[in-house]
Amino acid sequence: MADSAAMTMTRRALLRGAVGVVALAAAGCRRHRRLPSAPALTPADAVAVQAAYDAELALLAAYDAGTASGDPAAVQIARSTHEAHLTALHDLLPPGDGSASPNSTPVLSGDMSKAEDASAVTLRTAAVAAADGRAAALLASIAASHRSIGQGSRPPRSSR
């Protein structure tokens, strides 16, 4: 059995341990460097992103108005996809932008696949013209998504 004198902590050992703990804590407490903010979009890119935002609002309004036909689950997926597009576009817009006036958002009617395809063409053109890589990538990605949704909402072609 160990005697109690050997198990007693000395004052010196206690102070060394405390200094070690403080040193470890101080080593982990560094100021975090802030990442530089992304440069503002060019005026032309901001206009293109705002137009894409407005187009997303129009597509969502059409889905909400019940003009989309087809499988309810597919319609809900398309609607959720457009909501995600709105969020991404809003995050790219300069502060104060990203809200359309109620009169500037038309409600689409008719064949949603045509509306999705037309939007894809417009977005693809804007993506190619964009000067900012972030805007180009986002617009191209949304264009591809719209194209995919448009293709998925068409009835399958009969093979003859």
Report which of residues 82 and 35 the model is more confident about.
82
Tokens linked to 158: 């009969």
Of the listed ranges 33-37, 86-90, 156-160, the least confidently predicted one is 156-160
pLDDT single digits (tens) 40-89:
899 999 999 999 999 999 888 888 877 667 778 888 888 899 999 999 99
CA–CA separation, 151 vs 112, rounded Å?
10
pLDDT single digits (tens) 95-147:
775 555 444 444 454 578 888 888 999 999 999 999 999 999 999 999 999 99
Per-residue pLDDT band at 92 (split at 50, 70, 90):
very high
Give the per-residue pLDDT at 144. Answer: 94
Helix (H, G, I), strand (E, B) or coil at 104: helix
Backbone angles phi, psi at 97, to 5 degrees: -95, 180
Report the length, in residues, of the chain.
Answer: 160
Report which of residues 13 and 106 the model is more confident about.
13
- Identify the structural domains of the chain with CATH numbers, from first to last: 43-152 (1.20.1260.10)
Residues with Cβ within 8 Å of residue 130, at least 6 apart in sequence: 44, 45, 48, 136, 139
